[in-house]
Amino acid sequence: MKALRLRSPAPVTDNPLRIEDVAIPVAGPGEILIRVKACGICHTDLHIVEGDLVLPKLPITPGHQVVGRVEQMGAGVQFCHVGDRVGVPWLNTTCGRCEYCLAGKENLCVEGRFTGFHVDGGFAEHLCVAAEAAYPLPSGFSDISVAPLLCAGVIGYRALRMSGITRGERLGLFGFGASAHIALQVARYLGCEVYVFTRGDHHRRLAEELGAAWTGTANERPPRPLQAAVIFAPAGELVPSALEKTGRGGIVALAGIHMSPIPSMEYSLLYQEKGIRSVANSTREDVRELLAVAAEIPLRTEVEIFPWMDANRALARLKKGEIRGSGVLDMS
């Protein structure tokens, strides 16, 4: 099979992902082999390719918003069948026995392994994963349109939960890309008034189309104080800005896996029981809940499609903030 392999991290403009011929994996006990149809791209893929994260494995095939069909099942697999359409997100396997797993917080598992990071991901024609890492997908979405739900969607959903936002409150979203355009729709479904802070005119237009009550830059003040906020952009300098715009008792959730340094700031920005909360990965229940909510709303994913061999170019456009909504590689 063909796969996009990373052998050495480098700036994405140097085209570090190269097409290679590799053997099609065989599904072992408890595993399934998936024929990949689509795979979303996100900032985590960019951080992996460019070496912002310490990589536990090289070479590696990135990609963790994988949509495909089951081609082979290993011994003991009971919850899917050959031909089923499934999705594979970032969280791959966990130990199941540490204090975090036992408390239903497997996103914090000390031995957690992640798709496209510890194990090969979906920038390939086939993917072999533990059956527990794959989820049935709602039928109302195409392969391309459902892909962004598997990371952008579920991380946005968890970030909303970590922010403590409740029905009818005022929410600020800082940065407006793949995750934020889905989180906005979930927040609107909850009756929240959403203010979007982003530099790009095309991002502001999309936010307004999706129901944002106000859009502007991080230097502008919204009509009313926020009651919670989520920062999607990997820019630490946004933290003081978000805290300044958030009222008493509000939480600012940080949704990225990587962020530039947070500058020193006056304690007064954090006083009055405000909080900062990082978001780490997601639980299996997060994935199941988000997919159910996506079908119920139903969510609209704004997608820009790239041929899968153009992954380097797609990631370069993502880095420049040029993608409207989510970027998805068409693997078919």
Distance CA 206, CA 267 (A): 35
- 54 and 189 together in one domain: no
CB 197 within 8 A of CB 220: yes
- 122 and 198 together in one domain: no
Does 268 fall in a domain? yes
Helices (H), ranges, the chain:
43-50, 99-102, 143-146, 152-163, 178-189, 201-209, 238-245, 284-296, 311-319
- 63 and 196 together in one domain: no
Q: Which of 278, 294, 313 is the last residue of a domain?
A: 278
pLDDT of residue 79: 85
Does 125 fall in a domain? yes
- 138 and 168 together in one domain: no
Does 128 fall in a domain? yes
The domain spanning residue 85 has which CATH number?
3.90.180.10
Does 292 fall in a domain? no
Mean pLDDT (the chain) is: 96
DSSP-derived pairing of the beta strands 66-73 and 85-88: antiparallel
- 126 and 66 together in one domain: yes
Does 291 fall in a domain? no
pLDDT tens digits, 228-280: 999 999 999 999 999 999 999 999 999 989 999 999 999 999 999 999 999 99
As a whole number, mean pLDDT of residues 140-163 equals: 97
- 204 and 233 together in one domain: yes
Q: How far apart are the first and last CA of the chain?
A: 13
Backbone angles phi, psi at 110, to 5 degrees: -70, -15
Distance CA 53, CA 39 (A): 21
- 19 and 131 together in one domain: yes
Does 286 fall in a domain? no
Does 284 fall in a domain? no
CA separation (Å) from 140 to 37, 126, 146, 148, 301? Answer: 16, 24, 9, 14, 12
Q: What is the pTM of this model?
A: 0.93
- 57 and 139 together in one domain: yes
Inform me whether the pLDDT recorded for 89 exceeds 90.
yes
pLDDT tens digits, 184-228: 999 999 999 999 999 989 999 999 999 999 999 999 999 999 999
For tokens 């195409």, name the residue: 142
Does 297 fall in a domain? no
- 157 and 121 together in one domain: no
pLDDT tens digits, 72-82: 999 999 888 99
Question: What is the number of domains present in the chain?
Answer: 2
- Structural domain boundaries enclosing 178: 153-278
The domain spanning residue 272 has which CATH number?
3.40.50.720
- 220 and 90 together in one domain: no
- 144 and 179 together in one domain: no
Q: Which of 263, 278, 293 is the last residue of a domain?
A: 278
- 159 and 74 together in one domain: no
Backbone angles phi, psi at 243, to 5 degrees: -60, -40
